[in-house]
Amino acid sequence: MRTTTLPSGQSVPVLGQGTWYMGDDTRRRADEIAALRLGLDLGMTLVDTAEMYGNGASERLVGEAIAGRRDEVFLVTKVLPSNASRAGTIAACENSLRRLGTDRIDLYLLHWRGRVPFAETIGAFEALQSAGKIRHWGVSNMDVRDMKELLASPGGDAVATNQVLYNITRRGIEFDLLPQSQQRGLPLMAYSPIEQGRLAHYPEVQDIAERHGATPAQVALAWVLRQQGVIAIPKASSPAHVRDNHAALELKLTDEDLAELDNAFPPPDGPEPLEMI
């Protein structure tokens, strides 16, 4: 498994596992747990969830899947901006720990920006770190202006990552946010790297997949993973889907492939608003 490094020096896999919409349907629970456990077996040990996902259902699913294997996992979850006051963040973290069945979170993210000042949320993160409840903290869905303000806040330079929407069809961050993050040595986490499966339906992606004997999803993932300091966290709710995602690590896109994708999905030529799903 290839890895990248957080500012603290912590190594994490570049291909992890997302869990948005997992845990919502009890009929799929066994397959979803099997998928997460297979991912761990294959080295996809970064598992991302959030208190928002299914109102805690995803965290409970993840907790069940990693039971007995906690030390293998780099566990990521998120606090809602509505809970991001000092007291609210600490309480939300305790609730997430309970649902996850663990005593610590490896990376705790502010899910998106709300009304609470960054300094107050950072203070809560620092208190949780001092108590051993979280190891690192970061943010999600923050644009260039947000990151500038965050980094200027007391303690803000300890941010470990920014999780954002990024895939072949959502390239706005390449103009400013991605290069600035790379320059700082701050990895970005790409959520929805396959655009929730929709990229599989684009003929341009299908053609490249056929040339390589791969799937369109693998092409989309390989495209994201080629970037320095980018972590992809696709969701896979079945073991077969996990194996398909993992195989993207071996897919090397050629210059011709990349040129075709640039032609079909042009990179930005100026700043663009940060996209979110």
pLDDT score of 106: 98
pLDDT score of 135: 98
* 53 labelled catalytic: yes
Handedness of CA 27, 31, 34, 35 (dihedral sign): negative
Tell me the residue ranges of DSSP E strands in 28-148.
Answer: 46-48, 74-79, 105-110, 134-140
Third-level CATH fold of 11-201+228-241: TIM Barrel (3.20.20)
The active-site residue out of 21, 53, 108, 202 is 53
Pairing label, strands 3-5, 11-13:
antiparallel
pLDDT score of 255: 97
Task: Work out the angle at residue 237's Cα, subtended by the Cα atoms of residues 198 and 254, and round it to the nearest 5 degrees.
Answer: 50
Q: What is the pLDDT along the chain (277 residues), one digit of tens a residue?
A: 899 999 999 999 999 999 999 999 989 999 999 999 999 999 999 999 999 999 999 999 999 999 999 999 999 999 999 999 999 999 999 999 999 999 999 999 999 999 999 999 999 999 999 999 999 999 999 999 999 999 999 999 999 999 999 999 999 999 999 999 999 999 999 999 999 888 889 999 999 999 999 999 999 999 999 999 999 999 999 999 999 999 999 999 999 999 999 999 999 999 999 999 9
Return the closest-CA partner of residue 233 out of 274, 191, 202: 191
Q: What pTM was estimated for this model as a whole?
A: 0.95
